[in-house]
Amino acid sequence: MGNTVGRLQSLFPPHQLDVIIGSLLGDGRLECRSIGKRYPISARLRIHQSDKQKEYVFWKYNQLKNLVLKGPRRIKVWYDSKRKKEYYSWYFHTKTSGDFGELHRYFYKNGQKILPIQLP
């Protein structure tokens, strides 16, 4: 486990790794993009928050900007017909990479997000 943690710490600058790990401990998720027999797993990080958390989404985006192709986007999540109100959220995702695939192997078991015994 110790070698794995050291390897994960070398994948991203410390300030970005902190944002990524913090997101994964919350409601951020890694989306597995490919699983090959010869090639490593690739994944991307998805950040998705309610409209109330817009500033937080943009803060995370600014911390991870070099890992992202498109900035945060607003989408309609649902419509409450009783209140006649639309609800929106903000999201972005990083580029797909083997580095995020490494994190995926560490934070997911059998398709479920887990809390690793030791954090990077």
Query: Full-prediction pTM beyond 0.75?
Result: yes
Q: Which two tokens stand for residue 118?
A: 């030791």
Provide, rounded to the nearest whole percent, the portion of the chain with pLDDT above 90.
56
pLDDT value at 118 more than 80: no
Nearest Cα to 90, choosing from 78, 74, 79, 77? 74
Q: Which of 23-27, 35-39, 52-56, 91-95 has the lowest mean pLDDT?
A: 35-39
**CATH class of this structure's domain 2-113:** alpha beta
**Mind listing the pLDDT tens digit for each residue in 30-77?**
998 776 655 568 999 999 999 999 999 999 999 999 999 999 999 988
Q: Which two tokens stand for residue 119?
A: 């954090």
CA distance 109 to 32: 12
